[in-house]
Amino acid sequence: MRAMIDLSPAQAADRIAALLAASESRTLDFKRISNKQSRMYEAVCAFANSEGGLLVIGMGDAKAMKPGDKAQSRVFGTEENPEGFDDFRRGLLNRFTPPINKLHWLRLPCTLHNGQPGHVVILRVEKSEQVHSIVGNGTWARMDASNRELSAVEIADLAYQRGVKSAETLPMPVALDLLNTDAWRSYCATRGLADTDLAVRLPRLGLAVPVDGVLQPLLAALLLFADEPGALLAGQGMRADIRVFHYKGRTVQRGEVPNLLLPVKTIAGPVVEQIAKAQAYVLERLAVGLTMEGSGFKARYRFPERVVKEAITNAVIHRDYRLNRDIQIRIFDDRVEVESPGRLPGNLTPATIDKTGSVPRNSLLARHLREFPNPPNVDAGEGVPMMFAQMEQARLYEPLYREQLETAVPTLLVTLLNEERPPLWVQVSDWIDRHGPITNSKLREMSGLDTLAASKQLKQWVGQGVLVALPAPSRQQASYTKPELAGLADLSGSLSLGLDNEM
């Protein structure tokens, strides 16, 4: 647990004002300090098990205000119950299993509801790599503006989402002989394994376990060595193939006749071959280019080859194989989309993946995949930062990572835009990273554009998917942020509050 950071009154004033103007949300909770701190522990647990967030201690929720109350009536400070606050801080050390370590404290001096000086404390809880429970009080997750205790089934599902558990370790009721393939022999030859008896080798490699006296291969073994892992998994409600869609235009037309340039390509096989075949097919389609409808102009795809290969490799290695959905690669005039089943594992978020790199969901699969000739992965965790660097060097927009949670099966969508990044975007991107959402007036100040031109530019970026518009009472008050940062905006964000830099 980090030490408490104290702000000066001048530094704290804007933060207090922003908090009083904010409402509870998925990433923001207000709590006064009572003699029982169970609800504060629940909030910490819920934030760690969800997307992280801010617990504001010593400030009541706006919903508890009466008509005519001033905003300042919500400010009670830690002075309302200093012993309770100390008990809460001590309890954070031993109330969770496993322990929650990534906690950041910021103390804001302020004027309390009674006019006396006091302090409000902000506790920032990071999204955790693990699944946490409160000793004797269950496992909690964050909803829109409240905390909910999870059932046993939901806890297990969260463990798979986080990558604490992986479907790759599930034993499969499949005959070992179905893994005696060219992929298995190639793997053994590369590793110099003279004895290729599956019944002997797979258990030693950690790829098979006995179940009721019968040796069963793990899912990872099927993915690595079976000729048709997707077919073998179909009976288990799982999938393991890749489907490639090449569309004409920039959108999917869901009419009677789809706007596909070619029939859908399904790519199956052991994952090492699957990755290689998918990479070759997509790169071939990108090399051909596309004649734009009605113009005769041939569009050229400018993606760096390494970026395309890495996006496909990551989708195969890090997908959640328990989910009944194939990887989908979609090629459009202006972009390539790689959509894989599952959410980002560990504590990764779309906002941090460029700095953190990938976190292996299927470490067993990744480890053995390295042992094939010409392996698609080096398993060094540098692939995602490389993608961002390569796209920047090519003067293209950075890769867009987005978790899609509204679908029946949650997926991770990676979008590579085939459009040159204007120099102004670099300034705008940096501004948003440092200060939070940008407005039309700020863009005008930064660029010299007039109001109409700035509006058109913002709409273009929204259309491209590199910005999203935040809810606002009027067009004049509209603000915009990156898609991966949109979830932080409802904190009045940790960005616009300046908390990330100080905590």
Using 50, 70 and 90 to split pLDDT, how confident is the model at 296? low
For the domain covering 228-417, report its CATH number: 3.30.565.60
Q: List the single range of 326-330, 377-381, 455-459 with lowest mean pLDDT.
A: 377-381
The CA–CA distances, whole Å, from 12 to 104, 274, 303, 353 equal 16, 55, 45, 30
Statement: residue 93 has pLDDT above 80:
yes
Are 410 and 403 in contact by the 8 Å Cβ rule? The answer is yes
Q: Phi then psi for 51, rounded to 5 degrees? A: -105, 10
Amino acid, res. 66: K
Q: What is the reported pLDDT for 1?
A: 58
Q: What is the reported pLDDT for 298?
A: 57
The CA–CA distances, whole Å, from 132 to 46, 85, 342, 371 equal 8, 22, 20, 35
Q: Higher pLDDT residue, 471 or 325?
A: 325
Q: Could you count the other beta carbons within 10 Å of the beta carbon of residue 157?
A: 15
For the domain covering 430-502, report its CATH number: 1.10.10.10
Q: Higher pLDDT residue, 338 or 196?
A: 338
Q: What is the reported pLDDT for 389?
A: 92
Statement: residue 379 has pLDDT above 80:
no
Q: Could you count the other beta carbons within 10 Å of the beta carbon of residue 132?
A: 20
Q: What is the reported pLDDT for 156?
A: 95
Average pLDDT over residues 326-337: 94
Q: What is the pLDDT of residues 264-281, one digit of tens each?
A: 999 999 999 999 999 999
Percent of the chain with pLDDT over 70: 93
Q: What is the reported pLDDT for 496?
A: 40
Q: What is the reported pLDDT for 492?
A: 40
HEC letters along 81-147: CHHHHHHHHHHCCCCEECCCCCEEEEEEEEECCCCCEEEEEEEEECCCCCCCEECCCCCEEECCCCE
Average pLDDT over residues 293-313: 79
Q: Would you list the domain boundaries of the chain?
A: 4-162, 228-417, 430-502
Q: List the single range of 124-138, 206-220, 477-491 with lowest mean pLDDT.
A: 477-491
Q: What is the reported pLDDT for 294?
A: 52
DSSP 51: T
Q: What is the pLDDT of residues 44-83, one digit of tens each?
A: 999 999 999 999 999 998 887 778 778 889 999 999 999 9
Using 50, 70 and 90 to split pLDDT, how confident is the model at 214? very high
Q: What is the reported pLDDT for 198?
A: 96
- Topology (CATH) of 4-162: 3.30.950
Return the exposure string of 300-337: e unless at least 16 CB atoms fall within 10 Å of the residue's CB, then b: ebebbeebbbbbbbbbbbbbbbbbebbbbbbbbebbbb
* Average of per-residue pLDDT values in the chain: 89
Look up the pTM and report it. 0.85
> Which candidate, 46, 43, 49, places its Cα nearest to that of 61?
43
Statement: residue 502 has pLDDT above 70:
no
Q: Higher pLDDT residue, 426 or 240?
A: 240
Q: What is the pLDDT of residues 423-455, one digit of tens each?
A: 899 899 988 888 889 999 999 999 999 999 999
Average pLDDT over residues 285-306: 71
Average pLDDT over residues 357-382: 82
